[in-house]
Amino acid sequence: MLMRFSQTFFSELGLTAWQARPGYFSPRSRASQPLESHIDSESANTQPSASHSGLENATPMTHETSAVISDDVGLKPIPWVWVGAGLADIWQNSNRPEWQLTLNILKAFGRAPDQLHFVDSTLCQSEETMMDTLDKIIELGVERVFVFERDAAIIKDLQAGAELIDLPRFDQLLASAEAKRSLYQILCQATG
């Protein structure tokens, strides 16, 4: 079964349309093939297709292998943690284009807003606030933290216990399709 997205979906993310390679999201082919043969079959099959289905389907949009693995093992997807200045102003503020973009990103990865946690680095100035924030991140069980900046005080403490993955800033994401493409690729690699 192939996962297909509409051209509208890709346009919202600022990406060109694509289609998954046949069998790529099939749990049987991924689980039963050795890694080398899976890579060989991917490299041999690089022609994108022009056919797309609409996003208006009644079925929820999810990453098929994640859903299958989660159902089989009973695991919940690991939440994302984003760290950046001003995220508290953006969070669930429907008037902000950054929030609309965040919702589109979550939808693209089949995630709900409750699977995204943010840390507004401008609010983490005291030692007590930073320790509380670090404790909450540890409780989430994440090994990777996505950062929009590296110069915040909390970053040094995060580096000691988590892998930090840089994301393009929201102003870049709103202005550039290339930044959106880069974000998509970073999130795919980090969560895939």
Q: Write out the residue range of the structural domain in which residue 63 sits.
A: 7-73
Question: Is 92 found in the same domain as 35?
Answer: no
What CATH number should be reported for the domain holding residue 92?
Answer: 3.40.50
- 73, 96, 124: which is the final residue of a domain? 73
Q: How far is CA 65 from CA 3, 25, 27, 37, 170, in A?
A: 10, 6, 6, 18, 29
Question: Is 12 found in the same domain as 94?
Answer: no
Q: Is 120 helix (H, G, I), strand (E, B) or coil?
A: strand
Question: Is 185 found in the same domain as 102?
Answer: yes
Question: Is 55 found in the same domain as 88?
Answer: no
Residue 2 within a domain: no
Position 125 scores a pLDDT of 87
The rounded distance, in Å, linking the Cα atoms of 192 and 174 is: 24
Position 19 scores a pLDDT of 56
Distance of CA 149 to the CA centre of its chain: 17
Question: Is 87 found in the same domain as 11?
Answer: no
Question: Is 30 found in the same domain as 92?
Answer: no
Position 30 scores a pLDDT of 43
Element (H, E) at 138: helix 127-140
Question: Is 151 found in the same domain as 67?
Answer: no
Position 60 scores a pLDDT of 38
pLDDT tens string, the chain, 192 residues long: the values are 455 666 676 666 666 555 556 655 555 544 444 444 343 444 444 444 333 333 333 333 334 434 444 444 456 778 999 999 999 999 989 999 999 999 999 999 999 999 999 999 999 889 999 999 999 998 998 999 999 999 888 988 888 888 999 999 999 999 999 999 999 999 999 887
- 41, 56, 73: which is the final residue of a domain? 73
Position 77 scores a pLDDT of 78
Q: Is 131 helix (H, G, I), strand (E, B) or coil?
A: helix
Backbone angles phi, psi at 96, to 5 degrees: -95, 130
Contact at 8 Å (CB) between 84 and 147? Answer: yes
Question: Is 87 found in the same domain as 67?
Answer: no
Position 46 scores a pLDDT of 42
Strands 80-84 and 163-166: unpaired
DSSP state of 21: P
Residue 1 within a domain: no
3-class SS letters over 43-106? HHCCCCCCCCCCCCCCCCCCCHHHHHHHHHHCCCCCCEEEEECCHHHHCCCCCCHHHHHHHHHH
Question: Can you read off the two tokens belonging to residue 19?
Answer: 């289609």
Cα of first residue to Cα of last residue in the chain, in angstroms, is 18
Question: Is 86 found in the same domain as 61?
Answer: no
Position 172 scores a pLDDT of 95
Position 164 scores a pLDDT of 94
Question: Is 187 found in the same domain as 93?
Answer: yes
Distance of CA 85 to the CA centre of its chain: 19
b/e map of 63-75 (b: 16 or more CB within 10 Å)? bbbbebbeeeeee
Position 54 scores a pLDDT of 34
Question: Is 169 found in the same domain as 100?
Answer: yes
